[in-house]
Amino acid sequence: MAFWNKKKSDDSVSEERTKKAGGMFAGVRAALAKTREALGTDIRDVFKNQGELVDEEFLQKLFAVLAKSDMGGEMARQIRDKIGKEYRARKVNFEEILQTIAGEIRETLEQGGTAIKMADAGPTVILVVGVNGSGKTTSIAKLANRFTKQGKRVLLGAGDTFRAAAVEQLTIWAERIGCDIVTGKQGADPGVVAFQASKQAAEENYDVCIIDTAGRLQTQTSLMQELEKIRRVIGKHVEEGPQEVLLVLDATAGQNAVSQARGFSEAAGCTGIVLAKIDGSAKGGVIVPIRQQFELPVKLVGLGEGIDDMAEFDPESFTRGLLDPGDE
Ligand SMILES: Nc1nc2c(ncn2[C@@H]2O[C@H](COP(=O)(O)OP(=O)(O)OP(=O)(O)O)[C@@H](O)[C@H]2O)c(=O)[nH]1
Ligand SMILES: [Mg+2]
């Protein structure tokens, strides 16, 4: 039985269990439960009967439902056209349509690798940017934890010198993870922290250095220029550094996340996206316009607030998590 037909309480318990049992797919699936339930209910609503005739009315209804979801108008048009072409004047059932939709989404989400680009020699520096509260510091902790578990030596740079609590937050994570951290005083130039962190990473042979930054809006020109300066400073100590500039987007921000991606990818030299909080709302479909509109690969997805709640982005498991299309 499809997920959205079951009683919610039973399902969230079993989803939670699956998540604890481990497995990246299970984690992504559990995190996307809200999105999957909303999308599944909306699409099923287009089906009054067991079988539905694919005519103009059906296609229009399906289009309307998909267009109002966070997947956006372009994906809705693409799916409508594909279903029109494949099934026009035929009777279809929900499962068939769901599989076709999943096929189109999976294709749209396909991209090159998700791996974090590592330096050939010397430390790999990862700069993490994004708007306030998008999940930067938490994502840094998750990444640092992964690298540490892989046996790598990790150094954090507390480059969010704007809020006193930010340094404290990252320091607590560093202690928990068991990695080192470079901090500056509140109000200090974040470029100086980036300078010190990358210098120390190079001199003391760290494998990975991850640098936090204060949240900022893509429209704040001087703050965007500050990121440019931080990148330059890192490059002075670490050849080809930063190897990655990861933009952390909050999936619950929906369409705002798309505008953030536009502003940051142009101004901040981003190399990849971390889509955080796919568990936090029914807006997981926002990944579709993000993938459609930018060259930037989605490298990681945030599945929750815990240190292990992160997965590499995989189009297949993400699509299955979004729609539960059954076996193909
Ligand atoms: N549910 C959920 N919550 C998350 C996730 N990632 C981060 N959060 C929560 O989102 C809130 C903000 O996260 P932070 O990591 O502090 O965000 P930030 O971008 O560093 O925020 P600022 O430094 O204030 O700009 C915290 O309560 C986190 O626990 C996620 O993947 N899922
Ligand atoms: Mg932060």
Per-residue pLDDT band for 326 (boundaries 50, 70, 90) equals confident
- Give me the mean pLDDT over the 243-249 stretch: 98
Q: Residue 235's pLDDT is what?
A: 95
Query: pLDDT at residue 11 above 90?
Result: no
Instruction: Output the average pLDDT for the chain.
Output: 92
* Ligand 1 pocket test, candidate residues 28, 32, 136, 138, most atoms within 8 A of CB: 138
Ligand 1 binding pocket (C-beta < 6 A) is 130, 132-138, 160, 166, 215, 248, 276-277, 279-280, 302-305, 309
Q: Residue 327's pLDDT is what?
A: 65
CA of 206 to the centre of ligand 2 (A): 23
CB 313 within 8 A of CB 114: yes
- Residue 274: partners with Cβ closer than 8 Å, 6 or more residues away: 128, 135, 139, 246, 247, 248, 249, 298, 299, 300, 301, 302
Q: Residue 9's pLDDT is what?
A: 42
Atom of ligand 1 nearest to the CA of 134: 19
Q: Left, alpha or beta for 116 (phi > 0: left; psi -120 to 50: alpha)?
A: beta
pTM of the model: 0.92
pLDDT digits (tens, 9 = 90+) for 258-274: 999 999 988 889 999 99
Q: Residue 24's pLDDT is what?
A: 73
Beta-strand pair 208-211/91-93: unpaired
Atom of ligand 1 nearest to the CA of 248: 19
* Ligand 1 pocket test, candidate residues 32, 132, 137, most atoms within 8 A of CB: 137
- Give me the mean pLDDT over the 159-175 stretch: 95
pLDDT digits (tens, 9 = 90+) for 65-119: 999 999 999 999 999 999 999 999 999 999 999 999 999 999 999 998 899 999 9
CB 252 within 8 A of CB 286: no
* C-beta neighbour count of 2 within 10 angstroms: 15
Question: Which domains occur in the chain, in start order?
Answer: 8-109 (1.20.120.140), 124-314 (3.40.50.300)
Query: pLDDT at residue 13 above 60?
Result: no
Query: pLDDT at residue 3 above 80?
Result: no
How far is residue 236's CA from residue 86's CA, in Å, rounded to a whole number?
56
CB 212 within 8 A of CB 140: yes
